[in-house]
Structure 1
Amino acid sequence: MRSAITRRIWLSALACLLPLAVQPARAAEPVVIFAAASLKNALDDASALWAKQTGKATRISYAGSNALAKQIEAGAPADLFISADEAWMDYAEKAGSIRPGSRFDLLRNALVLIAPAGAGAGADPQIALAPDLGSTLSKAIAGGKLAMANTEAVPAGKYGKAALDKLGAWEAVKGQVAQAENVRAALLLVARGEAPLGIVYATDAAAEPKVRVVATFPSDSHPPITYPAALTKDSANPDAAAFLAFLTSPPARGAFERQGFTVIAAPGSGH
């Protein structure tokens, strides 16, 4: 009798343990990336390659670098930050938001003047960046707006303002600028035909078939357009460093280059 009772107790205990034994391992948390809006197409592609190669996921939040840096400073749960300029990564570093030693320069870009793809059919599609550029742009805008990202905070807007200032055109057009929250929002204004001209990155123009490039700003008319990347100080995701290193790998390099970026990090180094 005692033996039968003991057996039932062991069987009951085993029945309770079996569900625990057969439960699948908990899926790894996705790597959370805060990235400049201009990276969307290329970083989406690179992330898809990472998922295919590793079976691991990412979750990406795109916005202006200024907004992202401040969100991370305020405690937003990001694992990586990729800025569209050095200044906002400097801000994050001074705020203690990024992990020491993890920062490196990943990409470079170029700055272009765009118009709606269907505008000015049959006309010369180019605008000369000549000494009378301010007058030329004012005439081309013709009472409309020049779409730019916020010129005081967003990297693309700051680069654009610097280029126009260097070329002597800022004072002539500053009253006609429509400032958007990020460069992709500025791109959209032109793509929809809501602005006759805009200033965006070359990669943005390449990603949007509804716009055409009418001029490319000289590289010496603005600070170098550099994208630094780093781990955040508070990241506890064990896959974050591996994903950051993956961004310098040949597959990721191809994803960036297909969108028009120049990869400046050494292949496979993560630095």
Structure 2
Amino acid sequence: MTVARRSLLMVMALCVVLTAPVRASAEGVLIFAAASLKTALDQIAADYSDKTGGEVTVSYAASSVLARQIQLGAPADLFISANVQWMDVLVRDGLVDASSRVDLLGNYLVLIGVPAQAEAQIDAALDLNARLDGGFLAMALVDAVPAGIYGKSALQELGLWADVEGRIAQADNVRAALALVATGAAPLGIVYGSDALAESRVSVIGVFPSDSHPPIIYPAAATRNADPQAFAFLTYLQTDTARAVFEAQGFTLPQS
């Protein structure tokens, strides 16, 4: 194993530890939220607590990990997924209150690198292998985590997947993929636009065409046995105050 490969694996392992979900037993509302929401949702939860006195604890990880934890009985009050499929699974299983479900946010997909990287148009003519220069393309798990699923879909649609399939550094969630690029362990990565905005050590090289992948939608819903306060917080997430924070952090809002 080369030194570069060993270093990459060590950083990925550290990212898993730092971003793993926390099983909390705090008073108040426990939110399970997609890792890409962290910067915005931390601020919104703090603002909500200041205004209402209600305590909010947020556990972040990949939507797939959180959904499986809920299936195993984790005591979440509210689930915010980065794609509709994992929410659909919990609705099918009767583990969320389907009547509370809302399409909360949207996002977009970007290719990132260090600030010195030149911008590029993301299309079928892009030579990703040349850009990688022997390194790896950081992505969330391409068959389980929403950001990875969207990224793989976009690369396949543009005819780029076959060229880089063997050069993918898969991370447990999108923030872990972001960290691989930010720390220099990977030269390029595919993340959400909101993630790129949250990390000053990376820059956006290009934006993937919106028609190259399924629409990126963040559904939110209270769980079957949610604390009543969860419904109040879900309502707060849809206020102009909360939406302004989401927009400032790069998320898009659903069309009214």
Shift, 1:265, TM fit: 7.2
1-side partners of 2:205 and 2:197: how far apart?
Answer: 12
Tell me if the contact between 1:105 and 1:265 (Cα under 8 Å) persists in the aligned partners: no
- From 95, 98, 119, the equivalent of 1:126 is 119
Shift, 1:232, TM fit: 0.3
Aligned partner letter, 1:37: A
- What's the C-alpha RMSD, in Å, of the aligned pairs? 1.2
Which residue pairs with 1:219 in the alignment?
A: 210
Q: Which runs of 5+ in 2 are unaligned?
A: 1-25
- From 234, 244, 253, the equivalent of 1:263 is 253
2-side partners of 1:212 and 1:222: how far apart?
Answer: 21
1-side partners of 2:90 and 2:255: how far apart?
Answer: 20
Q: How do 1:154-173 residues align onto structure 2 when only pairs under 5 Å count?
A: 154-173=145-164
- Give the TM-score normalised by the residue count of structure 2: 0.88
Which residue pairs with 1:250 in the alignment?
A: 240
Report SS of the residue matched to 1:127. Answer: coil
- Give the TM-score normalised by the residue count of structure 1: 0.83
Shift, 1:128, TM fit: 2.3
Aligned partner letter, 2:103: D
1:101–1:214 distance in 2 versus 1, CA, 3 Å: same
2-side partners of 1:59 and 1:228: how far apart?
Answer: 19
Which residue pairs with 2:21 in the alignment?
A: none
2-side partners of 1:130 and 1:159: how far apart?
Answer: 15
Q: Percent identity?
A: 55
- 1:184 paired with 2:182, answer no
Tell me if the contact between 2:121 and 2:207 (Cα under 8 Å) persists in the aligned partners: no
Tell me if the contact between 1:107 and 1:265 (Cα under 8 Å) persists in the aligned partners: no
2-side partners of 1:42 and 1:168: how far apart?
Answer: 33
Q: Which runs of 5+ in 1 are unaligned?
A: 1-27, 267-271
1-side partners of 2:59 and 2:243: how far apart?
Answer: 21
Larger Rg: 1
